Amino acid sequence: MPELIKLSKSCIGKEEKFAVARVLDAGYLGMGQEVMFFEKELEAFFSNNVHVACVNTGTSALHLALQACDIGAGDEVVIPSITYIASFQATSATGAKPIACDIDPKTGCLSLKALRNKITKNTKAIMYVHYASGVGERDSIFAFAKEFNLRVIEDAAHSFGGRYKGKRIGEDADIACFSFDGIKNITCGEGGGVVSSDQKLIDKIRDLRLLGVQKDTEKRYSGQRSWDFDVEEQGWRYHMSNINAAIGREQLKKFDDFSDKRRSLAKLYVEQLKGLPIKTLDLNFDEIVPHIFPILITDQKREFLKEFLYQHDVETGIHYKPNHLLTKYKGIDCPNAEIFGECLLSLPLHVELKAEDVVRVTSLIKKYLEKA
Ligand SMILES: Cc1ncc(COP(=O)(O)O)c(C=O)c1O
């Protein structure tokens, strides 16, 4: 029996286990110096052009980024319908209304043309999702946001470590949010980060992640905590723990190896799938670091192919069902997103996947297409 090829997987070694043991032995498990070091190391990773605040998930990074931009009840945030539900839920958690917008089917990212029709007097921000680690029409969307005086919060959960025009994603952002959950480009177990060159905004997020307690971060980084403090705003218990930061620090050291591996597997998929009646996305694998590998298969074949692969021990996924089709976020049609959502199938991609696995998956796809 061939071994199951998993869709995604955490890649953890003895270094992460030792790092966690070190934190457990030190006996300070909550937010302290490990988080401070991880933030500093991340800032260096982004060439020290930005400040970083680490939190407990990518979802809370988005929530706090929006809140720190004073986005709340009565405001609208435009979001591509093809994204993880986290982008929508983080927005509605602020009291603002997420407005689902159509996508560019070549990239799965927000369509500028569709965005133009979604702007109202209440629009405050665009949540720009780096679908499958891609950048889509980022430049045009940023120019549009500037023209209409809108904030851009980049949901870069998929694209940690990738580059665009030579700069790391996040380096020249208004605000970029990353996820370090178990299967992302690097993991903390669970975790997230907000990246911005705006020091005031990051300081505000540092207070908001600790229930709004002012300047508690500095205290915790020196092994103390605040007893006499003030709170001016609703905050949340969203900070990162030393345990999670210790895992993230070890993963960051392995990032170059991880990214080489992800890129070469994605390139191999593209090569192996050439000439088949299957679409892949328009992505530059020399710059981006792919988190997922979606393909598009038409004529209602997706479900059959998914089942065929599963019967042959290959796990696949669907990233994502369009959010405007969910009861909570029902809205105006996004026709491209609907077709895209019906054709999507994510093939296995993770650091422990082997080239032979990619060949096995693509051979099975070829076999299926010959039969179908
Ligand atoms: C596009 C997108 N946004 C946000 C998130 C939320 O990140 P987290 O799972 O760390 O909360 C994810 C996680 O998968 C994601 O894929």
**DSSP assigned state of 37:** H
Least confident of 148-157, 204-213, 215-224, 339-348: 215-224
pLDDT band at 371 (very low <50, low <70, confident <90, very high): confident
Nearest to 272, CA basis, from 346, 133, 372, 366: 366
Q: Pick the residue with more confidence: 225 or 93?
A: 93
pLDDT of residue 331: 77
Phi then psi for 154, rounded to 5 degrees?
-85, 120
**Tell me: the pLDDT tens digits for 100-159?**
999 999 999 999 999 999 999 999 999 999 999 999 999 999 999 999 999 999 999 999
Sketch out the chain's domains with CATH numbers.
14-253 (3.40.640.10), 255-371 (3.90.1150.10)
Q: What is the pLDDT of residues 166-196, one digit of tens each?
A: 999 999 988 999 999 999 999 999 999 999 9
Name, in order, each residue with C-beta under 8 angstroms of 29's C-beta and a sequence gap of 6 or more.
23, 241, 242, 243
Tell whether omega for the bond before 131 is within 30 degrees of 0, i.e. cis.
no
Give the model confidence (pLDDT) of 78-93 as tens digits: 999 999 999 999 999 9
Q: What percent of the chain has pLDDT over 90?
A: 93
Share of the chain above pLDDT 70, in %: 100
Q: Which residue has the tokens 């945030």?
A: 77
Helices 85-93 and 58-68 meet at what angle, rounded to 10? 40
| Å from CA of 84 to ligand 1 middle | 6
163, pLDDT greater than 80:
yes
Rounded distance between C-alpha atoms, residue 147 and residue 145, angstroms? 5
What average pLDDT does the chain have? Answer: 96
Q: pLDDT grade, residue 4 (50/70/90)?
A: very high
- Using pLDDT thresholds of 50, 70 and 90, give the confidence band for residue 230: very high
| Mutational pocket test of ligand 1: of 56, 84, 129, 154, the residue with most ligand atoms within 8 Å of the beta carbon | 84
Query: Can you say how many angstroms the Cα of residue 157 is from the centroid of all Cα atoms in its chain?
Result: 1
Backbone angles phi, psi at 140, to 5 degrees: -65, -40
Q: How confident is the model at residue 14 (pLDDT cuts 50, 70, 90)?
A: very high
Q: What CA dihedral angle connects 34, 35, 39 and 45, to 10 degrees?
A: 50
The reported pLDDT for the residue numbered 2 is: 79
Q: Is 129 in the pocket of ligand 1 (CB under 6 A)?
A: yes
Q: CB within 8 A of 83, min separation 6: which ones?
A: 127, 129, 131, 155, 320, 323
Starting at the edge strand that comes first in sequence, how are the strands of the sheet with 76-80 ordered? Answer: 51-55, 192-196, 175-179, 151-155, 123-129, 76-80, 97-101
Determine the atom of ligand 1 nearest the C-alpha atom of 61.
11
- Is the pLDDT at 342 greater than 90? The verdict is yes
86 Cβ inside 6 Å of ligand 1: yes
Q: What is the average pLDDT across 229-248?
A: 97
Distance spanning both ends of the chain, measured CA to CA: 25
Cβ neighbors of 128 (< 8 A, separation 6 or more) are 109, 110, 138, 141, 152, 153, 154, 155
Across the range 304-326, mean pLDDT stands at: 97
- Band the pLDDT of 48: cuts 50, 70, 90: confident
